[in-house]
Structure 1
Amino acid sequence: MTEEAFWLLITRAAEQPCDREEQAEWLTEELTRLPVDQIVAFQIKLSEVRLRADTWPMWAAARVIQDGFCSDDSFWYFQLWLLTLGRATFARVVADPDTLAETDAVRALASRPMKTWSDQDWPDWESLDYAAHEAYQDATGREAGLEQALLETGHDLPVNPDPAAITWDVAEPDAVAEHLPKLTFLFSAKVA
């Protein structure tokens, strides 16, 4: 699957006028219309694109947005949520996570107390992680068949974030403020 085809599907799913669960269901339905090898290719491309955001600076950004907490699972789903920002914005924030402070979605989160965020507001898209798996099962009738198909193509996909080491401590507030000044300022001004 080409990068363009992948992003077209992600963009169209994110544009659906419903919640993220239903957007993922829409995507699953679209994927079932593709040949099975393209469902596998979509999952491979999803993993490749998600891995671009699998960095400690991005994890630090997620922690700033989520009031200092971001577990492995939360960060994984945060990476998938970044796709909802669109291809160009995704590329920009991967290159510089501090630019998340310039996105409308993140500014909207910063403008309200976290306890008022709805499920749709939260910066995660967990259900995207299952879309290709469900489409593969629907298309082939094989439960857990996508994992086997991926192994047969030589792709062993990661199941947890695994960023490379960096030279600063993402849990140290002064280091985070130094490396993510716009995002830190945006959320330090947030109403509790």
Structure 2
Amino acid sequence: MDDETFWNIIEDCRRETPDRDERLGWLRGRLSRMPELEIVQFQICLDRVLTPTFTWDMWAAADMILGWCSDDSFFYFRLWLVGLGREEFEKVALDPDLLAGTPQVRALAGRSPRAWGDHEWPEWEELDYVAGAAFEAVTGKPHEDFHDAHDAQDVEDPEPRHPVGDRWDVNRADEAARRFPNLNALFPAVERA
């Protein structure tokens, strides 16, 4: 599966429904109609397309929006970016400050994360499991076999060990305003002592 096919599936899914849980069901169904190898290749493509978002700038953007972002939350945030669709994903991968223009992010501004509904959270952990679930449904094999089939493709992990770029402190108001003026306007940095 190439990136074009991967993104076509994601775009078809987005057109089908805005609800993330319904999207997962749709994706599972679509992938379950594919040959075993293509299901594994969907996961390989997902891993590959995420790579440009593994940057300190993107992590800073997630920190600003979420208020704090762990390793896991950052990964789930990046999966959520895929759900925005190819055009938006590619724009924000190049300039995370453009997230301030997305309706999904704008809807969160000025509200405490405690007030966000489950459907609003900019995280989509379950996307990382959908190919494995489809593989199990098609083959009847356990989840471990999906990982073995993935490893058998002998594809090197495209992601570097550490995020790309320079790490910076999103809690420094001057730095946040300079680097991400649009996001900072929505989620102002708070200096911490």
One fold, TM greater than 0.5? yes
Identify the residue that residue 129 of structure 2 maps to in structure 1: 130
CA shift for structure 1 position 156: 5.4
- Give the SS at the match of 2:27: helix
Q: What's the counterpart of residue 48 of structure 2? A: 48
> Partner of 1:70 in structure 2?
69
Instruction: Give the TM-score taking structure 1 as reference length.
Output: 0.88
Say whether 1:33 aligns with 2:40.
Answer: no
Partner of 1:110, secondary structure, is coil
Contact 1:31 1:39 in 2 (8 A): yes
Shift of 1:126: 1.0
Unaligned runs of 5+ in 2: none
2:136 paired with 1:140 = no
Q: How far is the alpha carbon of 1:18 from its aligned partner?
A: 5.9
Q: CA separation in 1, counterparts of 2:92 and 2:145?
A: 33
- Distance, in Å, in 2 between the alignment partners of 1:57 and 1:27 is 30
Are the counterparts in 2 of residues 54 and 161 from structure 1 also a CA contact under 8 Å? no
Secondary structure of the equivalent of 1:15?
helix
Q: Secondary structure of the equivalent of 2:54?
A: coil
Amino acid at match of 2:88: T
Go from structure 1 to structure 2 and tell me whether the alpha carbon gap of 1:161 and 1:28 turns closer, same or farther (over 3 Å shift). Answer: farther
Identical counterparts, % of pairs? 42
Matches within 5 A, 1:170-181: 170-173=169-172, 174-181=174-181
C-alpha distance in structure 2 between counterparts of 1:32 and 1:161, whole Å: 32
Query: Which residue of the partner structure matches residue 105 of structure 2?
Result: 106
Tell me the secondary structure at the aligned position of residue 154 of structure 1: coil
Structure 1: give runs of 5+ residues left out of the alignment: none
Query: Match of 1:94, as an amino acid?
Result: A
Instruction: Letter of the 2:107 partner, please give it.
Output: A
Letter in structure 1 aligned against 2:166: T
Which residue is 2:93 aligned to? 94
Which amino acid in 1 is paired with 2:149?
A: A
RMSD across aligned positions (CA): 2.2
TM-score by length of 2: 0.87
Partners of 2:175 and 2:120 in 1: CA distance:
27
Match of residue 15 from structure 1? 15
